[in-house]
Amino acid sequence: MSEQIESLPVLPIKNSVLFPGLLMPLTAGRPSSIAAIDAALASEDKELLIITQRDSSVESPAASDLYTIGTKAVVKRMMRRQDGAVNLIVQGVERVVLIKIEQTEPYLMARVRLAPIPEEANTEIEAMRRAILELSARAIQLAQPNAPIEVTQMLAENEEPLQLTYLIGSVLGLPVEKEQGLLEAPSRLDALRLLHSYLLHELQVLELRNQINVQAQGEMERQQREYLLRQQLRAIQEELGETSPEQADAELFRKQMDEAQLPEEARKEAERELSRMEKLPQASPDYHVIRTYLEIILELPWAKSTEDNLDLAHARQVLDEDHFDLKEVKERILEHLGVLKLNPTANAPILCFVGPPGVGKTSLGQSIARSLGRKFERLSLGGMHDEAELRGHRRTYIGAMPGRIIQAMRRAESNNPVLMLDEVDKLGRDFRGDPAAALLEILDPAQNHTFRDNYLDLSFNLSKVFFITTANTIDTVPAPLLDRMEMLRLSGYSAEEKMEIAHRYLIPRQLKESGLTDQQFILTDEALIHVISRYTREAGVRQLERAIGSLTRRVALRFAEGDTTPMIVRVEDLHEMLGPERFSFELTRKQLPPGVATGLAWTETGGDVLYIEATLLPAGRGLTLTGHLGEVMQESAKAAQSFIWAHTEQMGIDPNVVRRSGLHIHVPAGAIPKDGPSAGITMATALASVYTDTPVRSDTAMTGEITLTGLVLPIGGVKEKVLAARRAGINRVILPKENQKDLRELPDNVRAEMEFVFADRVEEVLTAAVPGLVSRLRMPQAA
């Protein structure tokens, strides 16, 4: 083909390349472009040069901004738009090479040389054509699985390889540089090869994209399926007139909320949480957090209370049925009932039962609840060291629960239960806080009507709760806490009381446990006393109950083995049934050597007898104290020593002995810690005895604090101490005169049996305890 030179108006285009034979819609807005179009349309052939800009950001391109190979095109359609821009459809006619720009104003005019690609046909071209057809079929399949099959067919029908190349090249969405590269290819084979490489790359990208899609889809599909099924389930349920589980929950809560008589604050909070819950799917973890919270709010007895049984006779009967004696405590409870009868809004008292283990503190709480007709709940504070256990954790924590108090209220299902806080003396404390501090709020009638649990974050009224705390000792209870409670002491029981308790409660209970009747098992009184005194040593009755339990079990075993004769347990049988006696009376000391005096001590488990031994050290000096004595007791020993030394003449003691000898006081058993001032007079007696070499009466025990001037001061725990003396077989006790009033705590028979000496001064103690000293003692005139 001979070289043809033409001059054409130039329409530069951006981001795209027009191939010969292909149609392209264009919009021209630049004045120079519109001018070029006008010029083309004014010609008879409507031809112009479409050429691609190298840089799409250039607005008025010069020759250097244009590629050198473009396409001669014919304008097929043209239409002016309202805004002055021009829409047109052009069809590529022939590949041209730009020779030079002839004019730039008002539009570009270019001299071009037609550069058609020479026709050629060989097997390589045909092979390329087929390869391209195959690749493009795959690309279409990947890019648009839904594309009609005709597209592929239509491509195959296109016999002219160059046209096919241009057609596929234009629809691949290639970057401008690549499209331009295709246009610039000098021969059919080059164009085909170029397109082949583009297609391969394109196919790889498509395949990769597909792979990613498939993976993502796999993950999505499971969730979507579940969601879809759920939606369908919901639709089916609606159709059937059922509600979805979430809705059912919400409706149930709403119904309960209407019935629950919640206080304003709680109702608002509950409604807010409920509306939040409704918006959540059931699978959400928050859903269950809110659900639990609502359940707790709705289950709490905000306004539910039990009717108090204010029948005093009934209450007295219940208390007497359940517990023997304990007059003071029972009176206190009946008083409170009386008050409630007259003033129903009275605050419940906060009682604190203090006493050794096994005396019935907990069961007393139960019978108080029974006599009042209230619910009974107990929670043990023993070992609790985290404030949050009482007050709960804030709801932001995972697995947060309300505190023990609120949980107890929830169990009680009424807002006025008897709530027993056991072992208040065994509260722990550590870096997490002090539960005693939380108890201060709970047990203060002025504050506990707005008790705020951290979990609930709502105030709950605890003022109707009848709080009872128990403790073995009040020494470890913080003072502010003690101050809030009304102390009731439950001291130990005497042997007679224990017998009574055994007959009334322990034996029937153990018989029932073992499945025996009271005809099948009879425990004689002598045997019972023996069990109490020789097999147990305690203030309460727990060991006793255990001992009775093992007796009844032995009998039950016999019955089970076929021997059905009723069993009468006598003292002689005990050794065989319970083993050797576990305790013998301390009163093996029938005679006391000089320097030994019998003291009485109070312990958490009741009272005990202890001996105080003093001896002179001929070569020694000063005072030696042994036996694990506390500071107060050591001081008390020094006071006793000083008193004796100061009154040597009066007591007829040789001053030389005092001057020359050291002194050792020992209190067995050495391993048990002892403290307190109440052994003062006992030590003074022991010292007087050792210095005068006169023995103390062995049937006499004594307790009392001593002063330097010889006064005897009152002490605590009289009942336990007296009972301990009696258990030990001592029936003469010297007590401070001021403790005389405490004797009314003792059972009548004990009082009748025992001989009491009340002393104001040490001299009186010595007179009563050391008979050999009386002749020597010069009593002060006042006595």
Partner 1 sequence: MPETKPVSLFFISAEAGAAMAWRPAADIYRTPEGWVVKLELAGVRQEDVNVVTSGSELFISGVRRDRFVEEGWSHHSMEITYSHFERVIEMPCDLDRATISIESYDGLLLVRVGASHEEEKR
Q: Which residues are catalytic?
A: 678, 721
Cβ-based nearer residue to partner 1, 78 or 632: 78
Shortest Å distance, C-beta 35 to partner 1: 10
Contact predicate 67/52, CB 8 Å = yes
Q: Is 360 exposed, middle or buried (0-12, 13-18, 19+ CB in 10 A)?
A: buried
Contact set with partner 1 (CB under 8 A): 20-25, 38, 41-47, 74-80, 88-89, 91-94, 151, 154-155, 158-160, 163, 167, 171
The residue behind tokens 């070992």 is: 383
d(Cα 173, Cα 178) in Å, to the nearest integer?
Answer: 10
Q: Which of 492, 394, 398 is nearest to 452 (CA)?
A: 394
Token digits for 306? 């039990």
DSSP 88-112: EEEEEEEEEEEEEEEE-SSS-EEEE
Cβ-based nearer residue to partner 1, 24 or 132: 24
Cβ-based nearer residue to partner 1, 38 or 271: 38
Token digits for 469? 């705390």
Q: How many residues does the chain have?
A: 783
DSSP 200-241: HHHHHHHHHHHHHHHHHHHHHHHHHHHHHHHHHHHHHHHHTT
Cβ-based nearer residue to partner 1, 55 or 105: 105
Q: At what angle do helices 161-171 and 123-143 cross, to 10 degrees?
A: 30
Cβ-based nearer residue to partner 1, 155 or 203: 155
Cβ-based nearer residue to partner 1, 149 or 669: 149
DSSP tag of 72: E
Contact predicate 704/714, CB 8 Å = yes
d(Cα 101, Cα 62) in Å, to the nearest integer?
Answer: 9
DSSP tag of 433: B
The count of other CB atoms within 10 Å of the CB of residue 72 is 24
Contact predicate 6/43, CB 8 Å = no
Which residues have a Cβ under 8 Å from the Cβ of 344 and sit 6 or more positions away?
308
Greatest C-alpha distance within the chain: 165
Residues facing 103 on adjacent strands: 109
Cβ-based nearer residue to partner 1, 69 or 468: 69
Query: How are the residues of the chain apportioned to helix, strand and coil, as percentages rounded to the nearest 5?
Result: 45, 20, 35
The residue behind tokens 């030394």 is: 645
Cβ-based nearer residue to partner 1, 44 or 219: 44
